[in-house]
Amino acid sequence: MHTRQTPALDRLRLAAAVLVVAIHTDPLGSFAPDANWWLTRVLARLAVPCFAMLTGHFLARSQWWGLGRFCRRTALLYGAAVALYLPLNLYAGAWPDLRDLLLDGTFYHLWYFPAILLAAGLGRLLDRAGRAGLWLAGALYLAGLGGDSWYGLAVHLPGMGAFYAGVSCLWQYTRNGLFFLPLFVLLGARMQQAPPSRRCAGLALAALGGMTLEAALLRGLDAVRHDSMYLLLPLAAAGAFGWALGQNAGRDRQARRLSVLVYLLHPWCIVLLRGVARFFGCRALLVDNSAVHFGGVLALSVVLGVGADKALAALRTELPARTLPPHARAWREVDLGALRHNVRALRGALPAGCTLTAVVKADAYGHGAVAVARCLWGQGVRDFAVACPAEGMALRRAGIGGQILVLGWTDPACAPLLRRWRLTAAVTGLDHAKALSAAGVPLTVQLAVDTGMHRLGIPASDTDALVAVFALPHLKVTGVFSHLCTSDGRSEPDRAFAQAQCRRFAHALAVLRARSLDPGQTHLQASYGVLNPACTGGQVFDTARVGIALYGVYSDAAPVDRPPDLRPVLCLRARVAAVQSLAPGEGAGYGLAFVARRPTRLAVLAIGYADGIPRNFGETGGVVLLHGVRCPAVGRVCMDQMLVDATDLPGALGAGDRATLIGTDGGQTLSAEEVAGRCGTITNELLARLSPRLGLVVRDA
């Protein structure tokens, strides 16, 4: 189906690039100087703010995870631009110095690059700072404004003369550095939903009208030092941006690239056109006629831009791709929309006052811990739990903040790493606590209490030991938790045991509080403690550590007290590597464990036990979807391949076709619960064993 889309934001970018060309070529200069003034000194001043707003908008839309990549790419582009303009620097006899490079840009339009790098980094901090961020960005803008078009007035304020003299030691104009772009990056970041489009258009037009008066007044007062900034410019730019945001659907990558190339190349085109005019002696037409000059520069910029775009594209296709397509062999598909839905559903299922701790151990149960944690961060989740320090470090390296609790035993030798990566260790016994304390590094820890599972933790009855941990030097106890071991069962004994665990936990907390010790964050339930609330008799703690349910699946097919509306997040798929025809009596695979009884068509799938498929999958009744039809797994699963009997599958089958091991294909679904059941295990094990060597396709609808 073809739907018409308006990539308004990318068109806005292109329009902004054209306006920048206008600023540098004065299109109406030789006909109507006043109109030209309005076009280039008022209207076109919207262009650069729009660029910055687009940057802020797209960076904030993905929670600023792309900031590092943006900065690397922008720095690379800037480097290329510096090299491109070096001949003109040399021709003009001015070799750019380090100050130009880092602060003002090495050519007149290149100021934007150092400024946007600074503003993007600052924008992230300002965005995190809430309302204060907006005030600060506004204050910076006002300070810059006084050094720009309001200079003649602002300089008379006490101290401002010295201030602007100081600033001008760093930047040629207050537009160039700290003062101008951060506000627009922040406005773009904050405008994620479009306000009503009519109001935006109205605001943009009214602000533009006001800005015209403002500019005319300042010009009349001879106050203008430079004319990039006006008091009403942020309103006009926000209005224009909001209006485009409201129309926006889809994207136009070519427009996006072309706008950058036109911006980059047009000063060279001005020089080239002048050269041509001089050579052919047609200066009067090509340069002195301002409209022809503007049109010529723009056309040349577009032609060179399109050419450069093509050349770069050809270069890209000639280079081998740096990464394999993730679905080249066998892969997981992770649906972030489903993950977000589950967060909402689970928060709805939690008792009031109980927050969600996301358990993302074992690569988020095979779902890709970084992608999952980043998505959850965007949903406001700030508490994460992992099994070991290495998992926590991987999340921190990916930029995840908040609390990361290491649930398992941690070697006290890891204490400096825990500190370095701000990981919270679980104290699993009094001796463990003493060893962690003896490392002499300040650590935050949570106290594991054993309420009857007999796995990890200080026994709930050993209250002296619990109390003793609080007195150990270097350890700061920020929470106390325990773990239920029968909450997935609904039998009378299971339930009675869980309730007893809950009572012991509550008693241990009461003992600590009676000694005036603050247990901090308290938690007992995992997924099944939430799904079967009767197991805790309705007791509420500060948070619940939810793992399997977050991924939209149950451990098995057994019913629960209160099933929330969960959606499975993961599909597991693999490609057909080969199709084999066997005559009756022929065998296949290791040990020839499969023997054909009839003329048989076997599909060899490119997935094996090293990817997480149990070796005995064929013997325990495993099935796979091929073209939406259930086909039995046969023979022994190999390390990297497995065999499927596709004889009863109607139609052709060939190498490269897609098989589904978990998920939906052609109206048929293999749920994780069913597959785990066929493997004789629970989904937790099946998913946690999925190998990181599987590709990861993240869908973010």
Active site residues: 361, 590
Pairing of strands 443-450, 475-481: parallel
Q: Which of 187, 526, 623, 624 binds ligand PLP (CB under 6 A)?
A: 526
What letter does residue 536 receive in the DSSP assignment? G
CA distance 513 to 495: 27
Q: What minimum distance in Å lies between the beta carbon of 360 and ligand PLP?
A: 10
Among 245, 243, 332, CA closest to 61: 245
CA–CA distances in Å: residue 427 to residues 120, 288, 457, 465, 679:
40, 79, 7, 11, 35
Binding to ligand PLP (CB under 6 A): which residues in 444-473?
A: none
Token pair recorded at residue 635: 């023979």
| Nearest CB to ligand PLP, comparing residues 521 and 527 | 527
Minimum distance from residue 526 beta carbon to ligand PLP (Å): 4
329 binds ligand PLP (CB under 6 A): no
The CA-based angle 583-584-589, given to 5 degrees, is: 75
Sign of the CA dihedral 354, 359, 365, 370? Answer: positive
Tell the smallest beta-carbon distance from residue 63 to ligand PLP (Å).
24
Q: What gap in Å lies between CA 93 and CA 84, rounded to an integer?
A: 16
Q: Of 424, 600, 683, 684, which lies in the binding site for ligand PLP, with binding defined by CB under 6 A?
A: 684
546 sits near ligand PLP (criterion: CB under 6 A): yes
Q: Is residue 225 a contact residue for ligand PLP (CB under 6 A)?
A: no
- Rounded to a whole number of angstroms, the minimum distance from the CB of residue 362 to ligand PLP is 8
For residue 545, state whether it binds ligand PLP (rule: CB under 6 A): yes
Which residue in the shown chain puts its C-beta closest to ligand PLP?
A: 547
Closest CA to 457 of 520, 518, 402, 501: 501
Spatial distance between the Cα atoms of 249 and 6, rounded to a whole number of angstroms: 5
Instruction: Give me the least distance between CB of 684 and ligand PLP, in Å please.
Output: 6
Stretch that binds ligand PLP, among 216-224, 229-237, 289-297, 523-531 (CB under 6 A): 523-531
Q: For tokens 């009214």, name the residue.
A: 206
Residues paired with 168 in a beta bridge: none
Sign for the pseudo-dihedral over CA of 288, 292, 298, 299? negative
Member of 7, 239, 479, 547 binding ligand PLP (CB under 6 A): 547
Site string for ligand PLP, 357-396 (x = CB under 6 A): --x-x-----------------------------------
Residue type at position 654: G
356 touches ligand PLP (CB under 6 A):
no
Total residues at interface with ligand PLP (CB under 6 A): 12
By CB under 6 A, residue 548 contacts ligand PLP: yes
* DSSP string for 188-239: HHH--SPPPHHHHHHHHHHHHHHHHHHHHHHHHTT--S--S--TTHHHHHHH
Non-local CB neighbours of 390 within 8 Å, separated by 6+ positions: none
Q: Which is nearer to ligand PLP, 446 or 600 (CB)?
A: 446
Stretch that binds ligand PLP, among 211-219, 330-338, 472-480, 545-553 (CB under 6 A): 545-553
List the one residue out of 356, 368, 362, 359 whose CA is nearest residue 398. Answer: 368
Considering only the stretches 284-292, 466-474, 539-547, 667-675, report the one whose residues sit in contact with ligand PLP under the rule CB under 6 A: 539-547
**Tokens of residue 88, six digits:** 């003109």
Amino acid, res. 147? G
Give whichever of 535 and 548 is closer to ligand PLP, judged by the CB atom.
548
Options 110-118, 525-533, 569-577, 658-666: segment touching ligand PLP (CB under 6 A): 525-533
Element (H, E) at 495: helix 492-514
The pair phi, psi for residue 454, each rounded to 5°, is 55, 45
Contact letters (x/-) for ligand PLP, 480-519, by CB under 6 A? Answer: ---x------------------------------------
Supply the minimum distance, in Å, between the C-beta of residue 481 and ligand PLP: 7
- Binding string to ligand PLP for residues 398 to 417, with x set by CB under 6 A, is what? ---------x----------
Residue 545 CB, shortest distance to ligand PLP, in Å, is: 4
Comparison of 211 and 553: residue with beta carbon closer to ligand PLP: 553
The least distance separating ligand PLP from the CB of residue 501, rounded to whole angstroms, comes to 13
Residues 6+ apart with CB under 8 A from 90: none
Angstrom CA distances, 616 to 31, 366, 613, 621, 682, stand at 84, 20, 8, 9, 15
Q: Does 552 bind ligand PLP (CB under 6 A)?
A: no
Task: Identify which of residues 228 and 527 has a Cβ nearer to ligand PLP in the complex.
Answer: 527
Three-state DSSP at 305 gives helix
CB of 468 to ligand PLP, least distance (A): 22
User: Which residues lie near ligand PLP (CB under 6 A)?
Assistant: 359, 361, 407, 483, 526-528, 545-548, 684
